């Protein structure tokens, strides 16, 4: 089973989505961005950073999910882009 733990902070500002590891440890995994209908709109690899910024072309509400390669844990949040 996959566990959602939200150890990685996910938030938006303006038209960007940010992922931040508050422990300052490097993240290595995958980010997926879904629209409100559940369609995958963006997928990016994250490797060796403790914060990451994504840009999505559309405005609206999105579900952002981060999968950690090492632990298998998931962080997710709903964000609004303007």
Residue 78 has, within 13 A of its CA and on its CB side, a CA count of: 6
Alpha helices by DSSP H, listed for 1-82, are: none
CA distance 28 to 75: 13
Per residue in 1-45, pLDDT (tens digit) is 566 788 899 999 988 999 999 988 899 999 999 999 999 999 999
Per residue in 40-70, pLDDT (tens digit) is 999 999 999 999 999 998 899 999 999 999 8
Q: Which helix (H) or strand (E) holds 18?
A: strand 16-20
């Amino acid at each position: 089973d996959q566990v959602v733990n939200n150890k990685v902070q996910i938030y938006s500002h303006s038209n960007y989505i940010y992922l931040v590891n508050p422990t300052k440890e490097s993240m290595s995994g995958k980010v997926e961005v879904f629209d409100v209908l559940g369609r995958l709109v963006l997928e990016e690899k994250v490797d060796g950073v403790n914060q990451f910024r994504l840009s999505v072309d559309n405005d609206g509400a999105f579900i952002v999910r981060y999968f950690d390669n090492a632990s298998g844990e998931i962080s997710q949040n709903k964000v609004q882009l303007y």
